[in-house]
Amino acid sequence: MTTVIDGKAVAASVIESVKSATRSLESDAGVRAGLAVVIVGDDPASHAYVSAKSKMAKECGFLSVQHTLPEETTQEELAALVGRLNADPSIHGILVQLPLPKHLMSEPIIQSILPEKDVDGLHVVNAGKVATGDLEGGLVSCTPAGAMVFVRHIHGDDLSGLNAVVIGRSNLFGKPMSALLLAANATVTTAHSRTRDLPAVCRNADILVAAVGRAEMVKADWVKPGATLIDVGINRVPAPERGEGKTKLVGDAAFKECAEVAGVITPVPGGVGPMTIAMLMANTIIAAHRKAGRQPPKF
Ligand code: GUN
C-alpha cells in the first residue's frame, strides 16, 4: 500500500510545536517572537500568500507586522524599511515577499536583511551554512526545510546507504535540498534539464524529489518501486472536466500512476505546500530563541 503524506496534518503539528515554544519563550524569558512581512505592489497572488503568512504568525502568538508598500516604492525607501526592521528589537524575522516590482532589485534587499533575521533563508550567509553542513547555526530556507521534515518522518534522521535524487538545481530549492539530504548522509544526485537519461537516473532513487516546475513530468516508470517521492511542483493547468475555463493545481509528478509504484508520495495540493508557511513560523521562533540566548526547538 502506498502511503500518501498528509502535508496539512504534518504542518499542523509543526504549528502546534511553534505555538508551545512561543508560549514558553514568553513565560520563561519575557520575549514575544516578532515577524515582519513586507510586500510591495499589487500582485494578487503575492497578497494572498502574505496575508496567509501574517495570519498564521498571529495564530502562533507572534507579534505580526505587515508592511504593505505601494508599487511606486523606490529602492531607497525599501532599503530604509529593511534597515529599520533590522534595528527593531521586537522583530526577530523579516520576510520580503518576492517577486518585487520590476524596477526594484531584489538581491541587494535580500542581502541587506540581517542573516539572523532572514527567516526565508535566502541570505548568502544562511545559504553558505546549509552548503557547508552547518545546520545548527543558520536558518534553512522554508520549502527544503519542510521537505526534509517529511523525509525524516519516513526514513529517520540518518539516510546512510540511501540514494536521493533531486530534480532541479535552483538556489531557492534544488541546491539547499541536495545539501540537506547530503548532510543527513544520503548519496545525492542533483539532476536537471541537461542530465542525460533523466528517467534512468531517477529510477535509482530511494528518495526522489521533483522540483522542475513542469506539470506531471515525472512518470511511473521513473520511480523505483517502493521509493519515497516528494513533489515540490505547483503547476496550474486547464481542467475542462471541471467546467469551461476551470483550472487545477498539479505537481511535477503524474500523481495517480506514480502512486502505484512509489512506497510514499506527497500530493499536490496538500503536500509540501502547507509546510512552507509552517517552516517560516518555525524559523521565526528559532530566531527569537537564539536572540534570547535560549536553545531553539528542533523541527
Ligand atoms: N514568493 C514565493 N515564495 C516565496 C518565498 O518562499 N519567500 C519569499 N520571500 N517570497 C516568495
Look at residues 274, 266, 231, 249 and name the one whose alpha carbon lies nearest to residue 8.
274
Q: Both 102 and 152 in a single domain?
A: no
Domain count, the chain: 2
CB-CB contact of 46 with 103 (8 Å): no
Annotated active-site residue 97? The verdict is yes
Among protein residues, the one whose CA lies closest to atom 3 of ligand 1: 98
Q: Both 269 and 152 in a single domain?
A: yes
**Residue 210: strand pairing partners:** 167, 231
CATH of residue 99's domain is: 3.40.50.10860
**Residue 94: strand pairing partners:** 36, 118
Q: Both 192 and 247 in a single domain?
A: yes
Say which DSSP state 37 is in.
E
Q: Does 77 fall in a domain?
A: yes
Q: Both 179 and 259 in a single domain?
A: yes
- d(Cα 261, Cα 165) in Å, to the nearest integer? 16
Q: Both 151 and 257 in a single domain?
A: yes
Say which DSSP state 116 is in.
G
Q: Does 91 fall in a domain?
A: yes
**What's the grid cell of residue 69?**
508598500
Query: Where in the sequence is the domain holding 101, given as residue range(s)?
Result: 29-114
Best mutation site among 120, 122, 276, 280 for ligand 1 pocket (most ligand atoms within 8 Å of CB): 120
Annotated active-site residue 175? The verdict is no
Q: Both 151 and 266 in a single domain?
A: yes
User: From the CA of 141, how far away is ligand 1's center (Å)?
Assistant: 10
**What's the grid cell of residue 3?**
502511503
Predicted pLDDT of residue 19: 98
Q: Does 195 fall in a domain?
A: yes
Q: Both 168 and 238 in a single domain?
A: yes
Q: Does 4 fall in a domain?
A: no
Predicted pLDDT of residue 1: 84
Catalytic residue among 66, 117, 118, 120: 120
Q: Is 98 in the pocket of ligand 1 (CB under 6 A)?
A: yes
pTM of the complete model beyond 0.85: yes
Q: Does 294 fall in a domain?
A: no
The CA distances from residue 39 to 29, 34, 164, in Å, are 31, 17, 36
Q: Is 97 in the pocket of ligand 1 (CB under 6 A)?
A: yes
CA of 110, closest atom in ligand 1: 9
User: What angle separates helix 273-291 from helix 44-59, to the nearest 10 degrees?
Assistant: 50
Annotated active-site residue 53? The verdict is yes
User: What letter represents residue 21's amino acid?
Assistant: A
CB-CB contact of 123 with 108 (8 Å): no
Among the candidates 114, 133, 152, a domain finishes at: 114
Q: Both 174 and 238 in a single domain?
A: yes
Predicted pLDDT of residue 270: 97
Q: Does 129 fall in a domain?
A: no
Catalytic residue among 66, 97, 175, 224: 97
- Determine the length of the chain: 299
Q: Both 154 and 244 in a single domain?
A: yes
Q: Both 92 and 169 in a single domain?
A: no
pLDDT digits (tens, 9 = 90+) for 72-122: 999 999 999 999 999 999 999 999 999 999 999 999 999 999 999 999 999
CATH of residue 256's domain is: 3.40.50.720
User: From the CA of 203, how far away is ligand 1's center (Å)?
Assistant: 31
DSSP string, 217-281: -B-GGGSPTT-EEEE---EEEE-GGGSTT-EEEE-SB-HHHHHTT-SEE--SSSSSHHHHHHHHH
Q: Does 279 fall in a domain?
A: no
Q: Where are the beta strands (DSSP E) in 144-183?
A: 163-167
Q: Both 167 and 92 in a single domain?
A: no
> Residues in the chain with pLDDT < 70?
none
- Is 169 annotated in a binding site? The answer is yes
Best mutation site among 82, 97, 126, 234 for ligand 1 pocket (most ligand atoms within 8 Å of CB): 97
Q: Does 189 fall in a domain?
A: yes
Q: Both 164 and 242 in a single domain?
A: yes
Predicted pLDDT of residue 185: 98
